[in-house]
């Protein structure tokens, strides 16, 4: 087996590999590169699951970062159990060939209770007093305290939210070195999310994202040098490309005007009663899954969607089949935005009635993905003072609401989820991959085969399925 490190450089595209990323460009120039044609939806968990199983969402079951659970009448977002992903995983296929094959899975999603030998994933603690304590989950469990002792606590606030920065990606990179030096995995899967932040804040504006490009280039370059010095082959991979947007689409507000939503007043704030609504919309960047609790309104919903500015496609049963999205977790309909738009979860008409979690970083409670969590509310005159006060209150173990997120979706300048029109904005696969069609594209589900063949090199089992 060829020892391999797969670095998932989130948001990396051919357009971004330039003089702004000299180390990544140098790596590309001495290896093969292919553009990856993303599937629908081109979002984190779906693309990762497709890469690691070689299957479409209809088979692996991950139809997005979130979906509507019809049995519980609740949304499910950012779940962690690997049991949600159907199909044989890359490391399992390689382990069939070589029982001594081992895999480290670092911060890729669905990273709890998997068959990977070593794993690290973000996992806060939720004590009964209402606090949220930042932490990680590891496999083996004993690794958790050892790595925190050596590297310090994972900088969770820098992983997602308005404080997102290179600090979280740098910690993940150091954890990859830590695991390699102590565990010697055959395969090291490393998730490097840094570009995700500023690309959503500013869009692909090269001037504004230049600092982030330099920061990720330095981290990736350092990891390449580290792994290659240990005779480990490196592959660079990304999940999607982020393109410029300027139009948020509020489908829930349109559905509310039609009388299709059930809204509950809770302590003076509005919450969305999914199970009591006639139609449920789960937005995920530029794709939205739409579920019917009352199928009698389906024809009207379709007409409303098709007439809504910003909606480019409405996938029904047949279209979902051709997109590989015909899975029970998928919506009855799937809406896809046009190139300049994305979908919000907003359902309130008056910001004063927005639920308390709307102004917080709360990825599990919100019934949809919310990139506005990357911003501090510009209406707060002294945000550092407010945050400092709230942190002090939290330190004293009093409950407090970190309500510093704005409710202005127009702040978001970059999004993903649809298949970009320009292949310069597609994700990339770069490495010593002799069967990779140079300067051509591969489909997302074909990436698995190239990864498998690379890792199995020298074993006599260089083809998938033997």
Question: What pLDDT, in 10s, does the model give residues 308-343?
Answer: 999 999 999 999 999 999 999 999 999 999 999 999
Rounded-to-integer distance, Cα 110 and Cα 119, Å: 10
- The pLDDT value given to residue 436: 84
Secondary element (H or E) of residue 318: helix 317-323
Scanning 40-162, the segments in alpha helix (DSSP H) are 44-53, 57-60, 90-97, 143-151
Is residue 464's pLDDT more than 60? no
Domain 247-412: assigned CATH number: 3.30.1360.110
β-strand partners of 118: 104
pLDDT band at 459 (very low <50, low <70, confident <90, very high): low
The number of beta carbons lying within 10 Å of the beta carbon of residue 123 is 17
Return phi, psi of residue 320, to 5°.
-65, -35
Q: How far apart (Å, rounded) are the C-alpha atoms in residues 221 and 223?
A: 5
User: What's the pTM value of the predicted model, to 2 decimals?
Assistant: 0.95
Are the beta carbons of 178 and 150 closer than 8 angstroms?
A: yes
pLDDT band at 397 (very low <50, low <70, confident <90, very high): low
Is there a contact between 414 and 421 (Cβ–Cβ < 8 Å)? no
CA distance 156 to 406: 20
Q: Rounded to whole angstroms, what are the CA distances from 108 to 47, 149, 191, 436?
A: 11, 22, 5, 24
What share of residues in the chain are helix, strand, coil (percent, to 5)?
35, 20, 45
Is the peptide bond between 41 and the residue preceding it cis, with omega within 30 degrees of 0? yes
Q: What is the dihedral of CA 171, 121, 241, 23, to 10 degrees?
A: 30
pLDDT band at 132 (very low <50, low <70, confident <90, very high): confident
Query: What Rg value do the Cα atoms of the chain yield, rounded?
Result: 22
Query: Which of 357 and 133 is assigned the larger pLDDT?
Result: 357
Whether 283 and 308 have beta carbons less than 8 Å apart is answered as no
Examine the pLDDT at 378 and tell me if it is beyond 80. Answer: yes
Q: What is the reported pLDDT for 462? A: 44
Mean per-residue pLDDT over the chain, rounded: 95
Q: 399 versus 168: which is more confidently predicted? A: 168
CA dihedral 380, 384, 386, 390 (to 10 degrees): 140
Order across the sheet with 279-284: list the strands. Answer: 279-284, 287-292, 333-337, 311-315
DSSP letter at 133 equals: B
Residue 66 has pLDDT above 60, yes or no: yes
Indicate the domain borders of the chain. 4-244+418-455, 247-412
Q: What is the pLDDT of residue 439?
A: 65
Multiple choice CATH, 4-244+418-455, 3.40.50.300, 3.40.720.10, 3.30.70.980, 3.60.150.10: 3.40.720.10
pLDDT at 390: 64
Q: What band does 393 get if pLDDT is binned at 50, 70 and 90?
A: low
Give the SS3 label for residue 307.
helix
Q: Distance between alpha carbon 448 and the CA centroid of its chain, in Å?
A: 18
Helix (H) or strand (E) holding 66: strand 66-69
Give the separation between CA 333 and CA 292, rounded to whole angstroms.
Answer: 9
Structure letter (DSSP) for residue 419:
P
């Amino acid at each position: 087996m060829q020892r391999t490190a797969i670095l998932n450089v989130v948001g990396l595209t051919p357009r971004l590999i330039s003089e702004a990323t000299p180390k990544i460009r140098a790596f590309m120039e001495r290896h093969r590169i292919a553009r990856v044609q993303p599937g629908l939806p081109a979002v984190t968990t779906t693309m990762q699951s497709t890469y690691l199983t070689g299957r479409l969402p209809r088979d692996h079951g991950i139809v997005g970062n979130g979906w509507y659970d019809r049995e519980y009448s609740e949304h499910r977002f950012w779940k962690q159990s690997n049991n949600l992903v159907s199909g044989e995983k890359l490391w399992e296929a390689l382990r069939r060939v070589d029982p001594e094959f081992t895999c480290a899975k670092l911060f890729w999603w669905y990273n709890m209770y998997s068959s990977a030998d070593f794993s690290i994933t973000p996992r806060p603690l939720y004590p009964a007093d209402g606090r949220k304590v930042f932490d990680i989950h590891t496999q083996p469990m004993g690794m958790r305290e050892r790595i925190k002792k050596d590297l310090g606590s994972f900088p969770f606030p820098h992983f997602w939210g308005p404080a997102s920065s290179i600090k979280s990606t740098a910690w993940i990179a150091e954890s990859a070195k830590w695991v390699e030096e102590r565990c010697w995995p055959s395969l090291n899967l490393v998730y490097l999310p840094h570009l995700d932040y500023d690309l959503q804040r500013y869009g692909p504006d090269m001037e504004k994202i230049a600092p982030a490009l330099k920061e990720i280039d330095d981290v990736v370059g350092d990891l390449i040098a580290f792994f290659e010095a240990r005779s480990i082959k490196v592959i660079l991979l990304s999940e999607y490309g982020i393109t410029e947007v300027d139009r948020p689409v509020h489908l829930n507000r349109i559905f509310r005007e039609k009388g299709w939503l059930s809204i509950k007043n809770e302590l003076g704030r509005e919450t969305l009663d999914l199970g009591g609504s006639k139609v449920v919309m789960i937005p995920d960047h530029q794709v939205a899954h739409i579920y019917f609790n009352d199928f009698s309104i389906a024809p009207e919903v379709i007409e409303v969607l098709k007439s809504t500015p910003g909606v480019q496609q409405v996938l029904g049963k047949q279209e979902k089949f051709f997109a590989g999205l015909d899975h029970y977790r998928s919506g009855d309909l799937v809406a896809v935005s046009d190139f300049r738009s994305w979908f919000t979860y907003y359902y309130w008409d008056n910001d004063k009635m927005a639920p308390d979690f709307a102004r917080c970083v709360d990825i599990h409670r919100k019934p949809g993905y919310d990139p506005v969590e990357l911003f501090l509310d510009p209406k707060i005159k002294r945000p550092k003072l407010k945050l400092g006060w709230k942190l002090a209150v939290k330190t004293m173990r009093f409950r407090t609401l970190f309500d510093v997120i704005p409710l202005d979706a127009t702040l978001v300048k970059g999004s993903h989820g649809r298949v970009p029109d320009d292949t310069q904005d597609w994700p990339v696969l770069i490495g010593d991959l002799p069967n990779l069609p140079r300067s051509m594209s591969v489909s997302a589900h074909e990436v698995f085969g190239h990864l498998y063949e690379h890792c199995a090199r020298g074993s006599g089992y260089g083809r998938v399925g033997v």
